Structure 1
Amino acid sequence: MVGFPGGSTPDLVARTIAEPLSRALGQPVVVENRPGAGGNIAADIVAKATDEHTIGVMINGNLTIARMLNPATPYDPARDLAPISLIGTAPLLLTAPASLPFTNAQEFFLAARNGGDKWSYGTPGVGTVGHIGMELLKTKTNISPVHVPYPGNPQVINAMIGGQIQLSLLPPGLAAAQIRAGKLKAVGVTSVNRSPLVPEYPSLDEGGIRGFQLEIWTAAAAPASMPKPVVARLSALISEIARSPDVRQKLFQQGWQVAGTSAEGLANRMKSDTNLLGGVIAMRNIKVE
């Protein structure tokens, strides 16, 4: 199950994993797209599945903060889903219009502080990692741009190119093409070190925002009711497939640094991200209706 349309990043990941998983299991693996509610519709279907054959490829929010953002979410990630494997991770890239006059992160944040609430930032929606991450960045840098949600990242990019907004946290694969074309500028990636996905851009840590670490990720999960031996087998297979040279290269081209963790590795990541992002949600009183 994938909670996003065909051609989306989670869909591409699922289809990259599906064929080798089918060979390993000796049975067909079908990818079904059920988009809506930021992936939570598909996640709820997975949580309630009892056939022992349904798993989901999900993003951060589905496995961590879904209930915190909206108490009406019909499943509880911690209680109703069993971690299988963290497949891939990626930092976000803090990006600005090419017309803004800055040459490094320090100059950018000085301009942003001077801009106050006359500046605005765009995201693909309330409660997305880009939204929560920017609110976290505001607390670390004393900037105060106003949030403007858009239907998706393509609209965010167009608004930034057009000068309607001054900054955004974007997936590096999306932002890099516009930066290379001279339409946008990179401030820095949201990781302590440079990312192998876009090694030409500095990290925000290099730019003086010490220890700032924020990533998007995609992972596989099962219903909590799935027998533990089945989950363990799927975990071993999917993590091995993700780390295989061919699949690793495909996922890297899609914009992912391969993790291919154990179920325990994903469980630990779910806990740490729930604490980090949940703290920002509570502090900033972020809600999705």
Structure 2
Amino acid sequence: MSASLLESFRNLPDLPTHPEQIAKVLDELNKTSSMDYNLLHLIQYDPAIATRILAVANLPVYGYERRVESLQQAAGLLSPSLVTSIILTTPVFEIFRDADHACHQQFDHLQLWAHCAVTGVLAAYIARKLESVEEGICLTLGLIHDMGKMALIVNHPKQVLEAVERCRKEGGALNDALREMVGCTPYEVAAQLAGDWHYPGILIAHLRDMEAATGSENSAPVMIVRLAKRLAEDWKYGDGLELPDTTPVDSLLPALGVSPADLDQWKPEMQSQADKLARSILAKMLS
């Protein structure tokens, strides 16, 4: 089964989001004739909608001079009417739950969705503090970094559950368990989807580098997102799989030129932003 599971993601059209989120974004679209702050704020914390908007913005038919690397760039290029069309064709989680209800009940889709949003906002904060890395790319990469995991959970929940249970019993990383059991990892799936959806090469490379032990010379956004992801988990905004990352936070700092003292200084504001965003997400989705 080694190559077949990865092959099954070829030409996958999209990822699902929550129906409540689609309703809120469409309501905001009805109030404006342009991509204003309120609308961008709603979209930029939804991994499913973000991946679709990036994919559409990078379609060859639009002929932009350069590939679109961030959600902010994409939102600025697409009209509200096109964004509305994208959102109306975004599937919702309920469709996939019906296909394998028992398996999907064991995943906290909302927690994974919130984890990606928190990772994105923390990555953007770190980039802003460092000043040498584009904030929009870090937010986008943080938001979509787990799109391969989402795709695996939605389309092959049983296999992911088996890998998770193996990690809980025997230890080890989920990436390693999935590679051995089904022949691919979430980041390999993410990179393949990004390629199929015409994402720019640098964003595809960043998704691949998320899995590597060390980043390439151009992977500052990757290192930032790894740190943001780790902090999100420490602050109880993990992906819901209950497989804690034991990588010491301090080990991720030197590659970015960040000291433990820097991080301690940033933490109160970062935690405040993460808490505010997570509460907002949970309140909107559960209301």
Which structure dedicates a bigger proportion of its chain to helix? Answer: 2
Q: Which has the larger radius of gyration?
A: 1
TM-score, normalization by structure 2: 0.30
